[in-house]
Chains A and B, each alone.
Chain A
Amino acid sequence: MPEIDPSFTALPYRELGAVALGRAQELGATHADFRFERIRHQHLAVRDGVLQTAMDSDDEGFAVRVIHRGSWGFASGVVLTRDEALRVAETAIAVAEVAAEMTPVPIEIAPEPVYPDVTWVSSYDVNPFDVPIAEKAALLIDWTERLRRGAAVDHATAAVGQVQENKYYADLAGTVTTQQRVRVDPNVEAMGAGADTFDSMRSLAAPVGRGWEYLTAGVYDWDSELDQMPELLAEKLKAPTIEAGRYDLVIHPSNLWLTIHESIGHATELDRALGYEANYAGTSFATYDKLNTLQYGSNIMNVTGDRTVEHGLSTIGFDDEGVQTQTWDIVRNGVLVGYQLDRPMGHMKPELNGGRSNGCAFADSSGHIPIQRMANVSLQPAEDGPGTEELIGRVEHGLYVLGDRSWSIDMQRFNFQFTGQRFYKITNGELAGQVRDVAYQATTTDFWGAMEAVGGPQTWELGGASNCGKAQPGQVAPVSHGCPTALFRDVRILNTTQEAGR
């Protein structure tokens, strides 16, 4: 396992934390935590063989969060001195005093065992920050050049985001954690035009909690995908437009992960169900009174939440409230049985997880307060379940859907509309070429209720996003979703050019 980056452990967070927590305690805080973060980010972007963007950016600073007079107080700073640590602790206390006037019900948090001094590092082989930019750029340049050799390809782009996230957390109870995560988010796209149309074809590769080996070492089959993309684009540009109507869908994990994210992941965040996001991200149809009774989907639907799966983007050892991460059920046999929690919600709903948080607190930087963010919410495959071809074989009139593209869902997570990278017509159990201009639209419980079969473990893949948005001020979180290929009956399909009134 890789070690924590020594250039992080050399930073003065232990001293600043002790000073800040001491001051918060002196001023009467009943809870206080100190979080120091350094997030290294590098973005490389190539267009048509030219490195357009090479940006390194570090975000480093610390935050103090207190419960004082029954209210939260949060403050953050970037000047790494004892004086500033004192000032930030005092500001957090002062903010709590302002907040106390407007907080009629005192804040309490669920208990959690103390972890005196633990470290955790994510699973990767090659830290992308150890690879020279020129070497990484050369790979991306080569990818765009290979794509542009395809006759249908006018332009090609390749980009990769790389992150090394280091967090140090300490609280008054005595928990101290030091952690490091690495992730990469590669993206390759080919663009071309037909007679009266233009379109693009993007790689199906997902962002993932791995190192640079994801782009080079046979973890993902880039060569065959890059070889196929120009021809796939050519076929898409010539493909007939879809006839709007109702179709059976066989959905590949590269598309289904996003539907899970939007219609299950966000809908089972308890803070949304309780209204905390009502002014921004929205609420949830899966309200708390429906726990253990809501028929979320068909009885083959089993969904778990975890922050532990290897290479998952939400995976970590301990969350931003010092809670050890876990795995739990969210939907069992089609019924809603669980939510994603942080410590205040763990206290509020002790029946959910034995009175404990399930470890979903996350802040995207030292400048932001931790809130409940998404675990890796994943659809389970069927043991001995069918392969993708067998699922396609069960469809007379349908579509096989690969890759995500456009996505939108309402503020209670009922009505959604998704497009994809490619849609293949299925006729009598066989693929019959690509079709264009497709969007699928459904209501969450109807859609999951129409899931007739899930594939076996051999079809299961981890998809995900590095840019999930939530909260005010806005925070961005990375999250993965695993799922098998799955079969849905009788789903509404729109023709997007007709929708545009053409």
Chain B
Amino acid sequence: MNHGISPQSLVEHGVATSMADDCIVIVRDSTSANLRWANNTLTTNGVMHRVDVSVVSFVRQSGGTCTGSVSGSATTQAEVDELVRAADAAARAAAPAEDVAELVRDRTSPDWADEPGSTGIEVYDEVAPALGEAFVRAGSGGRVLYGFVDHQVTTTYLGSTSGLRLRHVQPTGHFACTGKTADLTNSAWVGTATRDFTDVDPLAAEETLAQRLAWGRRRVDLEAGRYDTILPPTAVADLMIYAYWVAGARTAWEGQSVFSRRPTGTRIGEELVRPEVTLFSDPALTGLQCAPFTVAGVSTNESSVFDNGLELGRTDWIRGGELTALRQTRHTAEMTKQPVTPAIDNLVLDVDGASGSVEDLVAGTERGLLLTCLWYIREVDPQTLLLTGLTRDGVYLVEGGEITAAVNNFRWNESPVDLLRRFSVASETVPTFSREWGDDYFSRTAMPALQIPDFNMSSVSPAQ
């Protein structure tokens, strides 16, 4: 692959040529390959390469430090020059920043000098023929497959005039497949995150879909209402990611989230949910590894360019049922008088004492529902974090510890914070892939299944 000039030299060039008092240059080299299929045939595909450069300039002027953030596709020194000039000019024209802090200093990643990682269509050398075979098996079994595989490798190089030279390689991938019966009246789904596709088996996934579609041979229509409901790990991930997303310290502090103690303050220190619950992030977690330092091309309500290079370690957001931290910049940490706990790109929910699998939860259920996944989740009321959404691709009736039929879909209205207060049983925590957010936003999660005795199914959805 022709990457043009090396990312490190683009960083060095930018840092050296900036005329500002300080400068941070972030280069992201990203390659990806994908295959998409529908109706048992491939539909689209692609192999992409991009290089994005972000330049942040810092200028100390009367009244404070001003910053300018500019980013763009750039693969040559001349293009980086243009970004640096624009960032320097933006900083000079800016008003003093409110999130000023000392820049992080003098750290070099041991692999700084290494080339960027990369991927290509060859990552599917084994998956693609197996997929072709899965299409044939599905077709002969009266089933239709629709799905997507995506693999991306992004290598981030972060350098600064304050002596940072940090590198991180992030592989991100997933396999997801929807199966339908030929008459399109029954639908099932499987999805999994992967770092390298060595652990993806399309034929096994096809078998799982066939089994789930077979559960749908008996169909029972249920009305809206509150049901004893088993949320599998993917659905729990959908909900917990939303709670994490709105866990910014500043919005909480200023009275605008479920984590606010009004008029000004946060609920940190409060018993928020059941005491068995711990929600945490840890960049070093095996299988879910993510960037161990903060990268911020721009300051927002929830990120600060001054924080680039901050080291990240395990952070407990909820520990023993108590809210212990919110997503902070150093600026909001000062505002809220809390430790600096920046965002981390993975999320784990652990329930103390929980064991077993989804199947064990099913076996222990007299009458209830097992969901496959959730969809189209949106906030209805930030005050309670009431979310609405749908069930999707398989709601199953559990009777006497066994799955006995498929049920219609529902629209639900629930708050993740409330669910962590109300669940009756949890399974062991396992790696999982969020159906709603895993594709483009947040794919590194480990969650238990949760059983909710009175999940609010607000109305029936006729969707199949």
Contact = CB atoms under 8 A, between A and B. Distances in A.
B411 interface: yes
Given A54-B90, A56-B70, A198-B262, A278 B38 contact: yes
B86 interface: yes
A47 to B, nearest CB: 7
B439 interface: yes
B458 A441 contact: yes
Interface stretch (B6-14, B45-53, B275-283, B360-368): B45-53
B437 to A, nearest CB: 11
A154 B263 CA distance: 9
B121 A98 contact: yes
B167 interface: no
Interface in A272-287: 274-280, 282-283, 285
Contacts of A413: 463
A233 interface: no
A98 B123 CA distance: 12
Nearest to B415: A500
B464 interface: yes
Nearest to A38: B73
Interface string B121-161: 10010001101100100000000101110100000000000
B46 A95 contact: yes
A154 B93 contact: no
Contacts of B300: 45, 52-53
B380 A496 contact: yes
Interface residues of A, number: 93
Interface string A247-286: 0000000000000000000000000001111111011010
B73 A417 contact: no
Interface stretch (A78-86, A114-122, A167-175): A78-86
Contacts of A368: 46, 48
A110 interface: no
A56 B413 contact: no
Contacts of A197: 383
Interface stretch (B175-183, B338-346, B347-355): B175-183
Interface stretch (A99-107, A180-188, A316-324, A380-388): A99-107
Contacts of A292: none
A60 B463 contact: no
Nearest to B178: A279
B304 to A, nearest CB: 10
Interface stretch (A21-29, A66-74, A295-303): A66-74
B41 interface: yes
Contacts of A496: 380-381, 386, 413
B63 interface: no
Given A54-B68, A500-B418, A415 B463 contact: yes
Interface in B40-76: 40-52, 54, 68-73, 75
Nearest to A107: B43
B376 A408 contact: yes
Interface string A380-410: 0000000000000000000000000011111
* Residue of A55, A132, A274 with highest tally of chain B CB at under 10 A: A55
B32 A198 contact: no
A33 interface: no
A499 B380 contact: yes
B208 interface: no
Contacts of B255: 154-155, 191, 193, 198
Contacts, number: 272
Contacts of A443: 462
A417 B389 CA distance: 9
B463 A411 contact: yes
A413 B69 CA distance: 40
B386 A500 contact: yes
Given A411-B376, A473-B150, A59 B413 contact: no
A279 B177 contact: yes
Nearest to B73: A60
A79 B462 CA distance: 49
Contacts of A83: 2
A414 interface: yes
B357 interface: no
A410 B463 CA distance: 7
B440 interface: yes
Interface in A367-385: 367-369, 371
B147 A415 contact: no
B265 to A, nearest CB: 12
Nearest to A499: B413
A87 interface: yes
A406 B380 contact: yes
Contacts of B177: 279
B145 to A, nearest CB: 9
B376 A501 contact: no
Nearest to B414: A500
B104 interface: no
A191 B23 CA distance: 35
A197 B45 CA distance: 48
B132 A415 contact: no
Interface of B: 2-4, 32, 34-52, 54, 68-73, 75, 86, 90, 93-95, 98, 121, 124, 128-129, 131-132, 135, 144, 146-148, 150, 176-178, 180, 184, 187, 189, 254-256, 260, 262-263, 297-301, 375-384, 386, 388-390, 392, 409, 411, 413-415, 418, 439-440, 456, 458-464
29 contacts: A53-B300, A56-B90, A57-B70, A57-B72, A58-B73, A59-B73, A72-B43, A75-B48, A79-B2, A79-B4, A95-B45, A95-B46, A98-B128, A101-B129, A102-B41, A134-B94, A155-B255, A198-B256, A198-B260, A275-B39, A278-B187, A282-B463, A368-B46, A368-B48, A371-B44, A411-B392, A473-B46, A494-B413, A499-B456
